[in-house]
Amino acid sequence: MAVKIVVLDGATVNPGDNPWEPVARLGELTVHDRTPDELILARAAAADILLTNKTPLSATTIDALPKLRFIAELATGYNNIDVKAAGAKGIRVANVPGYSTVSVAQHAFALLLSLANGICVHTQAVRQGEWISAADFSFCKGSPVELAGKRLGIVGLGEIGRRVAVIAHAFGMEVAAFNPKSRRQPEGVPVTWLSLEELFATSDVVSLHCPLTPANEKFVNARMLRLMKPAAFLINTARGALIDEAALAEALDTGQIAGAGLDVVAAEPMVAGNPLRTARNCMITPHNAWASLAARGRLMAVTAGNIAAFLRGEPMNVVNGDCLAKGLGHGKG
């Protein structure tokens, strides 16, 4: 009997240009573009293998799925899955590390360059006819910022953070970092290691590339923002809840910092009342830094590889190996 594979929320991974064929070869595949909470159990009930991107799999849900053998996270982060509950039932959870590193680092710099050069502000001014009516051949709505010689402070020097450091170095920027667990740095890029407070206080740009944990939720708060230079920019392509959004909106609106470039917010999709939506000089993209076709192609390929490895009895990229029930969670059979 074919293994039953169910995708709970596949629309963002494959909006039509990234076929599920590599996964479909491995079993009987059912793909749902999106799954509301009230339909999770019904759609997952027959699955031997579940694929989820952001659809939550709580302990209660996992406990109600006796057929489930393997969960494939369609992302690097897996905070939407209760991995301990899965492990207690012998269910392995595998993620896809590193697939979006290049795309996210590129996006972080796209946000920074747009802020530094006022791309959106000047494009809008041209569309509104301000260049047509200008007295000179050139006009500036605020002076562009040259990045060479400026300090980029990176919070979280993992794969994406190191890639950002390489790009920053190529622009002639000085790289500083805070990373409490490791001091691994990219080859050929000198890094100044700082405390978190010193990094915020001395950097011209602060870029967040750390995972969200209970310990660092809203760590970018009013106190940390007050440490920043008035001309500094804040970039966040990591997780929205790292930032106290009300405090950042106030810092932007009062000119406490010069601008922010964000690809994430705390509640996604964004809620209408988010104070950052109308904050001064706050550029926001809708959590799509990861979504290049190249990155999604890698995501699909590695996910298929994770499933195939599990079915061979040689699971890889498992994130809950330390909490698996002994003797359970094998791929064969």
Per the residue annotation, which of 239, 245, 296, 298 is the catalytic one?
A: 239
239 catalytically annotated: yes
d(CA 92, CA 49): 10
151 catalytically annotated: no
3-state DSSP of the chain: CCCEEEECCCCCCCCCCCCCHHHHCCCEEEECCCCCHHHHHHHHCCCCEEEECCCCECHHHHHCCCCCCEEEECCCCCCCECHHHHHHCCCEEECCCCCCHHHHHHHHHHHHHHHHHCHHHHHHHHHCCCCCCCCCCCCCCCCCCCCCCCEEEEECCCHHHHHHHHHHHHCCCEEEEECCCCCCCCCCCCEEECCHHHHHHHCCEEEECCCCCCCCCCCECHHHHHHCCCCCEEEECCCHHHECHHHHHHHHHCCCCCEEEECCCCCCCCCCCCHHHHCCCEEECCCCCCCCHHHHHHHHHHHHHHHHHHHCCCCCCECCHHHCCCCCCCCCC
268 catalytically annotated: yes
Per the residue annotation, which of 268, 312, 314, 330 is the catalytic one?
A: 268
d(CA 239, CA 253): 22
Per the residue annotation, which of 32, 163, 287, 298 is the catalytic one?
A: 287
Positions marked catalytic? 239, 268, 287
